[in-house]
Copies of this chain bind each other. A is one copy, B any other.
Amino acid sequence: MALEAAKSQYRQVADLLRAAIEREEYAPGSLLPSESELAAEYGVSRVTINRAVQLLRGEGMVRVLRGRGTAVRAIPPIRRNSNLRYARSSREEEGSRGAFDFELKRLGLKPATKLAQLGQVPAPETARQVLGLEATDTVLIRKREMYASDEPVLLATSYFPWILAEQAGVTETDTGPGGTYSRLAEIGKGPVRFSEDLRVRTPTAAEERFFALAETQQVYEIVHISYLPDGTAIEYREDVLPTHQWVMHFEWNAENDTKSGETER
C-alpha cells in the first residue's frame, strides 16, 4: 500500500498548491518557490513536490520557464458564455470588435487579435460541405491569433462564402464595431442560430508551440457554424483553445416533441 499512499500525498500537495494559487498567495505570473523550499514548507520530499508540480503543470496552473523556474498561471480561466457572447449588445459594447473583445474586457484582461491570414481562398472540403458551396466557389478566410493580456488563448479560423463577405464588406482587416456579425446583420444576413461541436484533442506541434503547452496538455477543438433563419449556414469556423484556459457555458431551450433538433448538420 506504500505506492497508493505516495500517490495520495502528491495529490494532497497539489491540492494545497492549487488552492494557494487560486487565493493568489502566489501572485499571478510570479515564480513559485524552489522545489527544496516547497519541500521544507510542506514537510515532504522534493520528489513529492516535483510530482505535484507536474500535475499542476498539466492543469495549466503553472508553467515551467526553462532555466528560470516555475511560473504561476498569469490569467484566470476565461468563461465563454456562448449565448451571451454573440448578442449584438455584447459584441458592440463600448465599441468592441466582437465577442472575444467583449468577454476579455469583462474580466479586466487586455484583448489582442493578430490576423494570421485574411483573403480569398478555395474552400477547404469541410467548410465547402457545410456552406453548401461548389468546388469552384471561393471563401473569405479570417484566421486570427488571439491573446488575453499577452497570453495566447485562442486560434480562430472563419470561412464565409466570398460573395457574401464582399457584400457585407468584411474582407478588410477591421470589420468595425460589433465585428463581422454586425456587418452581416446590416445586409439582412445576420446569423440567428449557432451550433458547436466540441471535442478535446492533443495539440498539433504548431499549436503546442503557439500556446506554449506542456506535453500533457490538450486543446478544445470547436467547430462553430452560424445559420440564417432559413437554416442556411453562412459561417464555418474552427476554434482551438487550451483546455486549462477556458470554461464553456451553454444555455438552450428544451426541444419540442418534434425531433426538430435531429437534423444532421
Contact assessment for A251 and B261 in the assembled complex, using a CB-CB cutoff below 8 Å: yes
The oligomer's copy count stands at 2
- Cβ of A88: which chain B residues have Cβ within 8 Å of it? 257
Contact assessment for A251 and B84 in the assembled complex, using a CB-CB cutoff below 8 Å: no
Give complex CA distance A259, B91 in Å: 11
How near does chain B come to A240, taking the closest CB pair, in angstroms?
14
A261 touching B83 in the complex, CB below 8 Å, given contacts A250-B252, A252-B252 = yes
Give complex CA distance A153, B247 in Å: 21
Give complex CA distance A227, B124 in Å: 40
The answer to the question of A7 belonging to the interface, with a C-beta cut-off of 8 Å to chain B, is yes
- Cβ of A81: which chain B residues have Cβ within 8 Å of it? 261
- Cβ of A190: which chain B residues have Cβ within 8 Å of it? 254
Contact assessment for B84 and A255 in the assembled complex, using a CB-CB cutoff below 8 Å: yes
Contact assessment for B55 and A202 in the assembled complex, using a CB-CB cutoff below 8 Å: yes
Residue in A82, A83, A195 whose Cβ sees the most chain B Cβ within 10 Å: A83
Q: Among residues 229 to 263 in chain A, which have CB atoms less than 8 Å away from a CB atom of chain B?
A: 243-244, 246-259, 261-262
Contact assessment for B86 and A254 in the assembled complex, using a CB-CB cutoff below 8 Å: yes
Contact assessment for B200 and A243 in the assembled complex, using a CB-CB cutoff below 8 Å: yes
- Cβ of A251: which chain B residues have Cβ within 8 Å of it? 193-196, 252, 261
- Cβ of A199: which chain B residues have Cβ within 8 Å of it? 77, 243, 246-248
A198 touching B250 in the complex, CB below 8 Å, given contacts A58-B216, A205-B7 = yes
- Cβ of A243: which chain B residues have Cβ within 8 Å of it? 199-200, 218, 243
Contact assessment for B200 and A220 in the assembled complex, using a CB-CB cutoff below 8 Å: yes
Contact assessment for A254 and B193 in the assembled complex, using a CB-CB cutoff below 8 Å: yes
Contact assessment for B200 and A255 in the assembled complex, using a CB-CB cutoff below 8 Å: no
How near does chain B come to A230, taking the closest CB pair, in angstroms?
14
Give complex CA distance A252, B252 in Å: 6
Contact assessment for A191 and B252 in the assembled complex, using a CB-CB cutoff below 8 Å: no
A202 touching B250 in the complex, CB below 8 Å, given contacts A86-B255, A89-B257 = no
Cβ-closest chain B residue relative to A88: B257
Q: Among residues 176 to 220 in chain A, which have CB atoms less than 8 Å away from a CB atom of chain B?
A: 190-202, 205, 215-216, 218, 220
- Cβ of A83: which chain B residues have Cβ within 8 Å of it? 252, 255, 261
Give complex CA distance A244, B243 in Å: 13
Cβ-closest chain B residue relative to A255: B87
Interface string of A56-68 (1 = CB under 8 A from B): 0011000000000
Cβ-closest chain B residue relative to A83: B261
